[in-house]
Amino acid sequence: MPVPRLKSSLSGDTGTKSMAADTLNARITRRYIALVALSMTLMGILVLFTIRAYTIREAKTELQKSTRIISELAGGQLNNEATLNEFILEQLIRDRFRRGVEFRAYGYTMAIVDREGRLLLPRTGQDLIFLTTKALPALWNRILAKQPYESGFEYFKADGVQYICSVLPTENIFVLLYLPIKSIQGITGGLILLIVLLVGCSCAVAAIVGKMMASSISRPIIQMKNATKDIARRKFDNLPVITTGDELEDLAGSIRSMSEELKNYDLSQKTFLQNVSHELKTPLMSIQGYAEGIKDGVFKDEAVTRALDVVVDESMRLKNIVEELVYLTKLETMEDFFRPDLENIMELVEESVEKVRGLALTEGKNIEISPGDPAVLTLDRDKIIQALMNILGNCLRHASSRVWVDTGLNRGGFYEIHVHDDGPGFTPEDLKNAFKRFYKGTGGSTGLGLAITRAIVNMHGGSIEISNKTEGGASYRIMLPVSHAARYAPTKPPLAK
């Protein structure tokens, strides 16, 4: 059943991951051993074939050389005597080769045949039987087929054994020198055992070295795996420091950076929840207190009306906080909440100023806008206006008598919007925390306005800064990229020129 399998998988999660780490270690070791074994085997086979080819070539050279010497000795004896004497010829050969051993100890066998194919030497023994019944008939047919015959090598098979024979013709005779090919190959037989032993020893050494190498590779991976488990448990400190000098070190650095980001995010979420609780608790307590007072008859006559006004005001404030929280959350999490089009930025700035001009007149303050560079940018119209109105509202709240706006293109490919006031400016605490959620400066409302403004500007690929003017007053600086490529295609054509 699917469910029991799922439960089994989850219950054995730790063991499975440990097994995966062990498998990685073992896999590296096995592949290293296999690589070494394959390399040594291929090298051994190459060396074996090279030595075998060299041995056969040298054996042929020696056969040819010995055949010429024997041919000279046999020819010289025939010049002095009517027939060949096997004993005298072997004595001459021993003297010539300066070896005090029997000629057959060299590993090859001599035969001398006249021009008619009659065997002259040897005249007795097993070699005579072997030559007359098996070797000579096959060889002589090949020699006759190649008349006039020059010196060379012939191969023949007898009793299941392959032989190589050096043939050298003279004026009266053919000198044959043959030996089994396996006697040549037997020289390399010991090399096969040596290669097998060498490969075995190499595999043993490779197993030790491979285990060490695998451990050095898998150890930092296991450390990073454990670090990710700690991060999942919100333990962001005591991360391992890995200094391998390769991609693993880069990966560890990325995990450390991710941990710092998650730590900051976790802290900001805790702070956010604390601030939300505080901001919602205050109007709720006020509403609860007045509602209970009305219920218990504490408020009479006009006091009831004032109490109800407070309840309505606090309810509206609570509603505004919730709406701004929802709006900010949508800005940060819902991509389809962002709908850009090609917009004339100066028109948006002017529209924003006009929307707050009535508030400025009510408070007896002047708001001005300087003519700026015209530009068409990819923007979400409503959200940019919302961001500008938040800033203009803050400036009007703190200005003594005047707020002014100036705009223009800079050399870095950004369109800048500056909003200034002639108020007291920002405090050091304001400069540090103004864009944090629920941070309220002097006369602040919900503490979410500038957080929303920054989210909107960031969504457009821009940035926002605050500062104090030298002559006094606050200054806001918004920079929007002129060449910003929106994440969504514009839904209407460019403005007509």
- Read off the pLDDT band of 417 (50, 70, 90): very high
Supply the mean pLDDT for the chain: 77
The yes-or-no verdict on residue 185 having pLDDT over 90 is no
Averaged over 143-166, what is the pLDDT?
A: 81
Averaged over 16-30, what is the pLDDT?
A: 61
What gap in Å lies between CA 245 and CA 249, rounded to an integer? 6
More confident residue, 369 or 320: 369
Question: E strands within 101-151?
Answer: 109-114, 119-121
* Cβ within 8 Å of residue 494, ≥6 positions away: 342, 376
The yes-or-no verdict on residue 483 having pLDDT over 60 is yes
Q: Lowest-pLDDT range, 194-203, 424-433, 443-452?
A: 443-452
Summarize pLDDT for 264-317 with one digit per residue, the tens.
Answer: 778 777 776 766 776 677 778 888 888 888 888 888 778 888 888 888 888 887
Averaged over 429-440, what is the pLDDT?
A: 81
Residue 132 pLDDT: 80
Residue 496 pLDDT: 35
Sequential DSSP letters for 457-474: HHHTT-EEEEEE-TTSSE
Helix (H) or strand (E) run with residue 418 in it: strand 414-421
The yes-or-no verdict on residue 70 having pLDDT over 90 is no
Averaged over 242-263, what is the pLDDT?
A: 84
What gap in Å lies between CA 60 and CA 48, rounded to an integer? 18
Averaged over 158-182, what is the pLDDT?
A: 83
Residue 333 pLDDT: 66
Helix (H) or strand (E) run with residue 251 in it: helix 247-295
Residue 476 pLDDT: 94
What gap in Å lies between CA 453 and CA 459, rounded to an integer? 10
**Domains annotated on the chain, with CATH:** 21-188 (3.30.450.20), 247-332 (1.10.287.130), 336-481 (3.30.565.10)
Residue 491 pLDDT: 37
CA atoms within 13 A on the CB side of 331: 24
Q: Lowest-pLDDT range, 11-15, 182-186, 335-339, 372-376?
A: 11-15
More confident residue, 331 or 457: 457
Residue 6 pLDDT: 36
Averaged over 113-128, what is the pLDDT?
A: 78
Q: Give the Å distances, CA to CA, from 145 to 149, 150, 239, 317.
A: 8, 12, 87, 120
Averaged over 22-49, what is the pLDDT?
A: 77
Residue 334 pLDDT: 64
More confident residue, 50 or 351: 351
| Number of Cβ within a 10 Å radius of residue 338 | 16
The yes-or-no verdict on residue 218 having pLDDT over 50 is yes
Averaged over 206-220, what is the pLDDT?
A: 78
Residue 201 pLDDT: 83
Residue 455 pLDDT: 87
CA atoms within 13 A on the CB side of 310: 20
